[in-house]
Amino acid sequence: MDVLATLEGLWQDSGFSRFFADGGWKSLIMIVVACVLLYLGIVKKFEPLLLVGIAFGCLLTNLPGANLYNPELWDAFLDQASPYYQSYGHILANGGLLDILYIGVKAGVYPSLIFLGVGAMTDFGPLIANPKTLILGAAAQFGVFFAFVGAVVLGFTGNQAASIGIIGGADGPTAIFLTTKLAPELLGAIAIAAYSYMALIPMIQPPIMRLMTTKKERSVKMEQLREVSKAEKIVFPIIVSAFVILLLPSTAPLIGCLMLGNLLRETGVTERLSDTAQNAMMNIVTIFLSVSVGATTVADRFLTVETLMIVALGLVAFAFSTFGGVLVGKIMYKLSGGKINPLIGSAGVSAVPMAARVSQIEGQKANPANFLLMHAMGPNVAGVIGSAIAAGFLLKVFGG
Amino acid sequence: MLNNASGTPMAVGDSLIAAVLGYAIVFVGLIVLMWVVMIVGRFMFGRSKKNKEKPVEAAQAAPVAAPVAAPAPAPTQVSALAPGSAGDIKLYDTPPKVAAMIMAIVADEMGKPLNELRFKSIKEVK
């Protein structure tokens, strides 16, 4: 046995040697990026349930030689000229573990199932008690369309711009769902930007909220919400599903699952299913979704100027969504004769319940006797529906 | 633009039109949904309000209609009518023991006897 040749073969086979190959340094940079994301998720607690999985997926996919995720298989899957166009069989036969898990993202299964869990965890009571807050959920989609135009100006295609814009909806599953359909090559960057900014909402929103409102406006105490009957809560998901899906059929997977989850929660006769949707299923899908999305951050596709542009546009999208929500909140403040606190407008970005908590904190800073949390939950959950409608529109326009 | 970019380049003017149209559709969709929820809410809230009022009315009417043979009112009716009591409290996702503890703490913090306070509902904020 030739020991030297064996050792050389082992070295050349190992991932370590590939760091010294052409472009290997990019993998090293991505491993550092993965470690930074892990630090943010674990130590700084930035959306840890998703960011830890995304970061670990990023780490795994950038370890040379692991072959857990093979982007060239997905290029063939998307290439109409390829014999493997739209062939999941080819992926299953030749892909690594993360390729196979990614099928759930590509088929739109994971984001929809996450919405099922979100629906099961969400109390739409504050929205039903004060349906006017739906307007704030619409207003806070301003950043989606502002960033969309900004992305087109910067040279992105319509599909890519739509996927970048939806970051402003502050809704991770919706952003992943839309990007997978319209611009899968940007999925890693968009998912990381969306979840990072969602975690940074307590830092992004307050300066904009304070800049746009007076202390008098921020101090407004809102009337207690009316009680919502069980029957109303049961009928709500049925009505919303029917109405929104009839309006924009492309929203069916997201809105259908969101409202099914909510119906399971509210019926009172499906507690086991609601519990599974909220906990076991949600946790399993979160693991699959986060790791497979992280796997798309392959070094030579992620380390580009476009990624930096997406990160910048994501921040713009979040800022202008907050701006739109607070602006319409101010209009409602005027129209209601000072009964509506404009701070609840910022909660129209759908990061639930983080954005509502920010409204509560800012309201209490202006007036310690102010309790805006339940009032802000209305626009907050309306934002989930609003961002799904925005995504449905963009999917219809750019998805054909 | 990336080499493997999905879709085709778009004129800025077209993107502005698409953005305005999209924003308008989100607004129109949610405003119409607001009306639908309001109408359904008014219909259902009105019904549930009536249902709540019925037992009280029945309990008030009962002694007049049949003062001798009037059956003992059900416990819910008694609590709805109980003079001087603090009324009912609605608990959402809150066990009675925790609710009792919260009420005691609030009374202590406010420096008022518990029977002078009225708690309408206790709900866990998640």
DSSP string, A280-344: HHHHHHHHHHHHHHHTT--HHHHSSHHHHHHHHHHHHHHHHHHHHHHHHHHHHHHHTTS-S-GGG
Q: How many CB pairs under 8 A join A and B?
A: 149
Residues in chain A within 8 Å Cβ distance of B30: 134-135, 137-138, 382, 385-386, 389
Residues in chain A within 8 Å Cβ distance of B34: 131-132, 134-135
**Domain count along chain A:** 1
Touching A: B residues 49-88, CB under 8 Å: none
CA A319, CA A346: separation in Å to the nearest integer? Answer: 10
Q: What is the pLDDT of residue A113?
A: 96
For chain A, the first-to-last Cα distance in angstroms comes to: 61
CA–CA min distance B94, chain A (Å): 15
Residues in chain B within 8 Å Cβ distance of A184: 6
Q: What is the pLDDT of residue B60?
A: 52
Domain residues for A115? 108-292+306-398
> What is the token pair recorded at A16?
């370590």
Whether A389 and B23 lie within 8 Å, measured CB to CB: no
**Annotated domain spans of chain B:** 6-72, 84-126
Confidence check: pLDDT of A196 > 90: no
- Check if the beta carbon of residue A240 is closer than 8 Å to that of residue A255: yes
Average pLDDT over residues A59-82: 91
Q: What is the mean pLDDT of chain B?
A: 71
Nearest to A306 among B2, B14, B30 (CB): B2
- β-pairing, B121-123 vs B90-92, is parallel
Beta-ladder partners of B34 = none
Interface contact B31, partner A, CB < 8 A = yes
CA A56, CA A35: separation in Å to the nearest integer? Answer: 8
Interface contact B24, partner A, CB < 8 A = no
CA–CA min distance B51, chain A (Å): 11
Q: What is the pLDDT of residue A256?
A: 96
A92 within some domain: no
Beta-ladder partners of B92 = B123
CA–CA min distance B70, chain A (Å): 31
CA–CA min distance B50, chain A (Å): 12
Q: What is the DSSP letter of A14?
A: S
Whether B5 and A185 lie within 8 Å, measured CB to CB: yes
| % chain A with pLDDT above 90 | 76
Confidence check: pLDDT of B47 > 80: no
Q: What is the pLDDT of residue B55?
A: 55
Residues in chain B within 8 Å Cβ distance of A398: 7
Confidence category of residue B123, pLDDT binned at 50, 70, 90: confident
CA–CA min distance A5, chain B (Å): 40
Residues in chain B within 8 Å Cβ distance of A159: 5-7
CA A95, CA A66: separation in Å to the nearest integer? Answer: 12
Q: What is the pLDDT of residue A180?
A: 92
CA dihedral over B97, B103, B104, B109, signed as positive or negative: positive
ipTM score: 0.86
A268 within some domain: yes
- Other beta carbons within 10 angstroms of residue B79's beta carbon come to 12
Whether B38 and A131 lie within 8 Å, measured CB to CB: yes
Whether B41 and A243 lie within 8 Å, measured CB to CB: no
Q: What is the pLDDT of residue B77?
A: 38
Residues in chain B within 8 Å Cβ distance of A157: 1, 5-10
User: Which one is predicted more confidently, B93 or A304?
Assistant: A304
Rounded (10°) CA dihedral B101, B105, B108, B110: -130
CA–CA min distance A312, chain B (Å): 16
Q: What are phi and psi of A21, to 5 degrees?
A: -75, 175
A355 within some domain: yes
Residues in chain A within 8 Å Cβ distance of B44: 229, 231-232, 235
A88 in the Ramachandran plot: left (φ > 0), alpha (ψ -120 to 50) or beta? alpha
Confidence check: pLDDT of A235 > 50: yes
- Check if the beta carbon of residue A273 is closer than 8 Å to that of residue A257: no
For chain B, the first-to-last Cα distance in angstroms comes to: 43
Q: What is the pLDDT of residue B68?
A: 39
Q: What is the pLDDT of residue B63?
A: 46
> What is the token pair recorded at A388?
């799904």
Whether B44 and A157 lie within 8 Å, measured CB to CB: no
Confidence category of residue A81, pLDDT binned at 50, 70, 90: very high
pLDDT tens per residue, range B49-104? 666 666 555 555 444 443 434 344 444 333 443 333 455 777 887 888 888 888 88
pLDDT tens per residue, range A120-179? 999 999 999 999 999 999 999 999 999 999 999 999 999 999 999 999 998 989 999 999
Instruction: Tell the residue number behind the tokens 């019904």, with chain if given.
Output: B47
CA B23, CA A276: separation in Å to the nearest integer? Answer: 35
Confidence category of residue B126, pLDDT binned at 50, 70, 90: low
> Cα–Cα distances in Å, from A231 out to A45, A94, A240, B28, B34?
38, 51, 14, 26, 17
Interface contact B121, partner A, CB < 8 A = yes
